[in-house]
Chains A and B, each alone.
Chain A
Amino acid sequence: MSNDTENVQNILFRVRRFDPERDEAPYYQDFTVPSPPGMVVLDGLWYIKENLDPSLAWRSSCRMGVCGSCGMLLNGKPHLACHTQIREVAKKILLVAPLPNFDIVRDLVPDLSSMFDRHRALMTHTVREDREETAEPTDQYWQSPEELTAYLQFAYCIKCGCCMAACPTLATDTRYPGPQPLAQGYRYLIDSRDGAFVERAKMLSGEEGPWRCHYAGECSAVCPKGVDPARAIQLMKRELVWDYLRLSRRRRRKPAGLLPEEKRSKERREDIPEAPAFTVEGAMSP
């Protein structure tokens, strides 16, 4: 029976390096990384930093595919480095590069601010008339399971930028907002708690809208969370067309209100345990 040591395979990490303060142009540097089965790319990068070159820069945080920090191009496709096993994507050589369609801060660190700017521009938050209630909700809003399901898949976005890096339209068309902001725009467009459908529809009918999407579908193919931005963009087009043809009820719909008094459970369910006490002094009291 073989053990892990026998299974270790040397993989050549060919990493794109660029320090704007020192280099005139990006270049590739090779590192040999001993990779046992199951080792993820992020661990390989840590191996390089700790043993071969401490100057290598990338962005990472959670190590579990949740924070969306470590998106990078692995053998030509955008992946999360913490969520991708080296030997799944490379037999001998692993080409590691920063996400395309973004400016580069250094080495493997993309500047995601262009994505976040476009994300904010599409009003990616719930908008209601009762601003105070929105900012400090006194209770839960009443939303049916169907209304939740309509947008839930698109709410899984971790803003890693993989979809933006894979989008061929964004690569050539600087005015296209890109799949991430549009998918999140759709997520709020159809949220029954939102009260700004008219403003959103008007905004999305302009250059900020989904109309330049060619439906290449690459954004959905690379999304590590299965958000399917391409589907969101097509559904957004359908929603806007139905609205233009006055076949949508969303324009006249009132945003979901607070849970009616008669629907509220008076007594706490016994099977739900009490929340643990706060461990940080000065935190919100339970």
Chain B
Amino acid sequence: MSVSNTKLWTWHVGAGLVLLVLLGLQMFGMHLNDLLHMLEGDPISWSSMAARAKLVSQAIFYILFLGFALYHGLHGLRNILLELNPSQGMQGIINTVILVGGVVLFVFGTWAAIAAYGLANAPV
């Protein structure tokens, strides 16, 4: 099955742009909060982190971040591996391993984000 490189490239660039926004939010919220005051209090204290873990928006943030970072990173890894001039058979193996690995990591990471949200909101 031939893959459209135009499609893969477009999503790679798009994912990069989304990561820029998400990482920017993370950077300004967690580490440069003194500049923009996006969050109240000390954002990297345990109590702030525990409070954020109860927000559904935080779980969605993590899942989006995971999805776009995985796609961007694994597509980049695939490009690097394909530049080693593998045989057609090896190309198929690389594509399959990266696709399956990416899906497994995404499912696992999504489960972890949802589980963390459930634990944070569980009655004590």
Residues on A lying within 8 angstroms of B by beta carbon are 169, 172-175, 201, 204-207, 209, 211-212, 237, 240-241, 243-245
Contact = CB atoms under 8 A, between A and B. Distances in A.
A244 B83 contact: no
Contacts of A169: 83
A173 B6 contact: no
Nearest to A175: B85
Nearest to B4: A205
Q: How large is the interface on B (under 10, 10 to 19, 20 to 34, 35 or more residues)?
A: 10 to 19
B85 A244 contact: no
Given A241-B13, A244-B10, A245-B10, A172 B83 contact: yes
Contacts of B4: 205-206, 244
B5 interface: yes
B5 A206 contact: yes
B108 interface: no
B82 to A, nearest CB: 8
Contacts of B6: 201, 204-205, 209, 211, 240-241, 243-244
B76 to A, nearest CB: 12
A212 B85 contact: no
Contacts of A201: 6
Contacts of A175: 85
B84 to A, nearest CB: 9
Interface of B: 2, 4-10, 13, 79, 83, 85
Contacts of A173: 83, 85
A207 B5 CA distance: 8
Contact of A205 (B5, B13, B79, B83): B5
Given A173-B83, A173-B85, A211 B7 contact: no
Q: Which of B2, B5, B7, B85 has the most CB of A within 10 A?
A: B5
Contacts of B13: 241
25 contacts: A169-B83, A172-B85, A173-B85, A175-B85, A201-B6, A204-B6, A205-B5, A205-B6, A206-B5, A207-B5, A209-B5, A211-B9, A212-B79, A212-B83, A237-B9, A240-B9, A241-B6, A241-B9, A241-B10, A241-B13, A244-B4, A244-B6, A244-B7, A244-B10, A245-B10
Contacts of A243: 6
A209 to B, nearest CB: 5
Contacts of A212: 79, 83
Contacts of B9: 211, 237, 240-241
